Structure 1
Amino acid sequence: MFKLFRPLLFVYGVLLLCMSVLMAGVTLFAGLTGDSEFRVFLVSSCAVFVTGALLTVIFHTRRFQLVSRQLYLLTTFSWVIMSLAGALPFYFSHYPLTVTDSIFEAVSGITTTGSTVISGLETLPESLLLWRSLLQWLGGLGVIGMAVSILPFLQVGGMRLFQTESSDWSDKSLPRLQDLARALLLTYLALTLACTTSYWLAGMTPFDAVNHAMTTVSTGGYATDDRSMGRFSPTILWISILFMLLGALPFVMIIGFLRKPSLVRLKDQQARGFVLIVATLALSQTLFLILYNKEDAFDALTQSVFNLMSVITTTGYASADYSSWGTFSFVLFFLATFIGGCSGSTSGGMKIFRFQLSSMFLKSQIHKLIHPSGVFSIRYNQKVVQDDIMLSAVAFSFMFFVALGVITSLLSMFGLDFITSLSGAATALTNVGPGLGDIIGPAGNFQPLPDGAKWLLAFAMILGRLELLTVMVLFTPMFWRG
């Protein structure tokens, strides 16, 4: 058992050292601006650094190769450990947060969910606002790296379907995994910088521009004001729409296009499906607001596209309380909660490709009913989809709705109403952020929920972020028997 965990503890130490560097950056910012939380971040940074240094020194291993069991443990507990470290500044800050609330806020940040227990964000010290944004930015980068490098190896997650394309791309263009990681980081940084500059030029303050850029590109959704994006101009909302879209597209596709610009590289079936779904739902919502709510056409279009893009990409921003737009809008946004962006992006949700595969599978089954002796193959991006990938998609969908039912039931045991329980479970598993209803809807937050419900939702956030099966396998006796 010690051999199983030794290299993992070393990696955890490295992750904690990285977290301490980020905290040190916020400490420097707090010191330069005279922020009241300077000592909080200084102590937290030192504590995390010492812990990380001890783990790396004690469990240092020159060369090691992780097997699948270790990768499952590494993937799951990395998010847990980073969440615990990220919660320290919240707990020790002058803002009154309990252990439960601190960990909930950190988990929501690192998983890029965006649910919050903090109200009065505009009165919060800037260092804490910056830390919330950094957690989501780091989480978004981790999501991409995990989706591209770890989950395909574990036969889990959406990138299995794109393993051939991504490996072809990396073999021909960037021969080493380190080069792929470097390209992902540089692209992520470039998008963040471009988003920051765009926000600033459109009228945001430099501080708001930096914070919102980090939480837009990471499709996280943390804002610096309780009004979220509702206080900004339509120009800023359309800039946000663009970068939420880019954050929800496959990063391997974006990198390939940036290296060799060509429209052929954009002919990805998943990306086209994502854009089509957003456009269809946004058009439906726009027409509803114009015809039934008698709103101005441009305002209706802006609000519809922005809020639907935010929910579908699992960003979680809000520019209005869309749950009050009427029953049609209420149902539409609830359904949009489950969709998610593309595999290999920063977004959560069930992912577009699973809906595409399901529709293709249904079409194939109908053909077989008409022609029982026929042989029908499912093709995706001009490649035949293997049976094990279809089975994986079916297993994920089954597990997702089982988890949704179980978590909804457990939340209701804490005295929450049906809408709060169901939308809370859905928004946690899909990493969207706001739920529906008066309590956790776009105009509310998660502070009023019982502590037990917050712990359950924090677990659900990690469960959804890691594509469910990565976590669920740890609860099987077979895994621990080796």
Structure 2
Amino acid sequence: MKLRLAEYPFIVLLMAIAALAMLVPAIYAFTLGDFAGARAFFYSAILFTLLSILLAIATQHYRPASIARSQLIALLAAFSVLPLMLAVPFYEALGTVSFRDAWFEMVSSFTTTGATLFDNPRSLTRPLHLWRALVGWMGGLLIWVAAASILAPMNLGGFEVRATATAGQGANDFRQIARIADPSERLTRFAAKLVPLYTALTLLLWLGLTMLGEVPFVALSHAMSVMATSGISPVGGLFYSGAGVFGEMLIFVFMLFALSRLTFGRGLMGEDRKGVFYDPEFRLGMTLVVILPALLFLRHWIGATEASTGIGDVQSGLRALWGSIFTVMSFLTTTGFESASWLGAANWSGLPTPGLFLVGLSMIGGGVATTAGGVKLLRVYALYKHSERELERLVHPNSVGGAGADARRIRKQGAYIAWIFFMLFSMSIAAVMVLLSLTGVQFETAMVLAVAALSTTGPLADVGAEAPISYAGLTAFAKYVLAAAMVVGRLEALAIIALLNPEFWRR
């Protein structure tokens, strides 16, 4: 069965999966009595399933010159073109928005950004909320599988920091090694291992949130959004969640999977020498989660002391501390869920929490080969180790670095490529800001929207600026710019540049 699936182009398989997924909201809409919505999703499922079958018949046994290159192109098409198909049932079921807005919503969901044009969750029916969460969930699953099977062998997506080969040039050795290393076989092999794990974790979180008092539908939507780090919510976030603080604690545990690939993929990518607690990404992420909330709590405590407002209220202080811990973890993993206690910290001290702080966390992002976006913790770690080494050389010019070949590679070649990516990321932010400014968007708003799109943290628009930013108020051109930025942020600039490399096409 795995070998038969490998005979078809990757994009055709993704189309077939997306078409079959339309049956889920169709069935749910039918059970709710929303027959118009059920027909929209059911007819779309039939249409695109037949289209996928016809394309599969036409392209069966097609063998491209470079399978790895074709899969990378298919990955780019999946995040940019496939949302056109995903938007059809959304557009037909809603009937009150343009197809462009429906496409923007699906790009945002599939890239796990979670930016929405609907400020009021009641504007959408439950089946449409389910479709948004399901599309985001599938986008997160695609990243899990593609990172291990497509990006890792090509030294892209963050793997270039540890790799000895040049970024984008890892795929040219496939024909010279064992047959199991064929890109198509890698894709099916990793999918067979990661899909059940991803699904089981989602169901476990859904069950846990339901047992804690959350409405089953809302619990399922939040569970899928946490695993995909999309931040999509049918009720407008965790402030209206019925699971309370214990639900946030459970979600916090599952957000750990976005800090390091070793939390779920140990042994799958040849990185089983040490446990997750020795992984620099996980340790750096947990260090930020401990230190930054402590500094925030200290700031609020000083504010409460100066204002003499509730400093003796231990419960309010603990609630403020938990709100900081959860929100820092949420935006570091680019999930974007805001703790229900986050605003309580400001009320306790009388000091507002700076939105620029959350913008910086979203830029850092989570772990390599996870559903999180941003610059990624491994690149930040490489830059940190390089800076530390340079400072040591200033004090002791003849010092010996040590720590093994892997550590030396990270702080030298890894830091070099990490710095290049950081510059590309910064230039991308500047380019998006310039394009948004052409539509009349103000500087601060453009900066927050650019970071939100490129780091795939759509909810950042609500808390990153002085006042919440509405995506619905943007012009058509601004929506196109942000949609393109979401695709670039999800696939990363290095992968797109690798596609533009002439040498990559000659091989």
Name the TM-score class by shorter chain. Answer: 0.7 to 0.9
* Displacement after TM superposition at 1:336 (Å): 1.3
Paired residue for 1:170? none
Paired residue for 2:317? 297
* Displacement after TM superposition at 1:421 (Å): 0.1
2: CA distance, partners of 1:329 / 1:438? 9
SS at match of 2:363: coil
* Displacement after TM superposition at 1:480 (Å): 6.4
8 Å CA contact 2:112, 2:230 repeated in 1:
yes
Residue 104 of structure 2 corresponds to residue 94 of structure 1: no
* Displacement after TM superposition at 1:68 (Å): 4.6
Paired residue for 1:447? 472
> Within 5 Å, which residues of 2 pair with 1:175-190?
177=186, 178-190=188-200
Q: Given residue 205 of structure 1, which amino acid in structure 2 is its aligned partner?
A: V
8 Å CA contact 2:461, 2:469 repeated in 1:
no
Paired residue for 2:253? 242
- Residues 152-178 of structure 1, C-alpha deviation per residue, up to 9 Å, x if partnerless? 2222221344679xxxxxxxxx99844
CA-based RMSD: 3.3
- CA spacing shift, 1:386–1:331, aligned 2, 3 Å: closer
- CA spacing shift, 1:39–1:324, aligned 2, 3 Å: farther
- CA spacing shift, 1:414–1:322, aligned 2, 3 Å: farther
Paired residue for 2:355? 330
- CA spacing shift, 1:189–1:8, aligned 2, 3 Å: same
The answer to which of 54-63 and 333-342 deviates more is 54-63
> Within 5 Å, which residues of 2 pair with 1:363-442?
363-372=388-397, 376=401, 384-385=409-410, 387-436=412-461
> Within 5 Å, which residues of 2 pair with 1:10-409?
10-35=9-34, 36-61=36-61, 66-161=66-161, 177=186, 178-226=188-236, 228-232=237-241, 233-246=244-257, 248-256=258-266, 264-292=275-303, 294=309, 296-319=316-339, 325=346, 326=351, 329-372=354-397, 376=401, 384-385=409-410, 387-409=412-434
- CA spacing shift, 1:387–1:9, aligned 2, 3 Å: farther
2: CA distance, partners of 1:106 / 1:354? 29
- CA spacing shift, 1:441–1:55, aligned 2, 3 Å: farther
- CA spacing shift, 1:61–1:241, aligned 2, 3 Å: same
Q: Given residue 285 of structure 2, which amino acid in structure 1 is its aligned partner?
A: F
Paired residue for 1:3? none
* Displacement after TM superposition at 1:234 (Å): 1.6
* Displacement after TM superposition at 1:402 (Å): 0.7
Paired residue for 1:457? 482
- CA spacing shift, 1:327–1:361, aligned 2, 3 Å: farther
Number of residue-to-residue matches in the alignment: 465
2: CA distance, partners of 1:221 / 1:90? 19
Q: Given residue 33 of structure 1, which amino acid in structure 2 is its aligned partner?
A: L
Q: Given residue 193 of structure 1, which amino acid in structure 2 is its aligned partner?
A: L
Q: Given residue 325 of structure 2, which amino acid in structure 1 is its aligned partner?
A: V
- Residues 404-447 of structure 1, C-alpha deviation per residue, up to 9 Å, x if partnerless? 11111111111111111001001100011123478978855311
- CA spacing shift, 1:481–1:414, aligned 2, 3 Å: farther
Q: Identity of counterpart residues, as a percentage?
A: 27
8 Å CA contact 1:322, 1:329 repeated in 2:
no
The answer to which of 53-62 and 15-24 deviates more is 53-62
8 Å CA contact 2:368, 2:378 repeated in 1:
yes
2: CA distance, partners of 1:133 / 1:146? 20
* Displacement after TM superposition at 1:11 (Å): 2.5
Q: Given residue 318 of structure 2, which amino acid in structure 1 is its aligned partner?
A: F
The answer for unaligned runs of 5 or more in structure 2 is: 1-5, 165-179, 311-315
SS at match of 2:282: helix
- CA spacing shift, 1:342–1:323, aligned 2, 3 Å: farther
- CA spacing shift, 1:162–1:47, aligned 2, 3 Å: farther
Q: Given residue 452 of structure 2, which amino acid in structure 1 is its aligned partner?
A: T
SS at match of 1:385: helix
Q: Given residue 288 of structure 2, which amino acid in structure 1 is its aligned partner?
A: I
**TM-score (norm: length of structure 1):** 0.86
8 Å CA contact 2:162, 2:406 repeated in 1:
no
8 Å CA contact 1:216, 1:244 repeated in 2:
yes
SS at match of 2:230: coil
The answer to which of 286-295 and 215-224 deviates more is 286-295
2: CA distance, partners of 1:196 / 1:62? 40
* Displacement after TM superposition at 1:376 (Å): 3.9
- CA spacing shift, 1:418–1:191, aligned 2, 3 Å: same
1: CA distance, partners of 2:385 / 2:162? 17
The answer to which of 471-480 and 88-97 deviates more is 471-480
Q: Given residue 303 of structure 2, which amino acid in structure 1 is its aligned partner?
A: Y
SS at match of 2:238: coil
- CA spacing shift, 1:14–1:331, aligned 2, 3 Å: closer
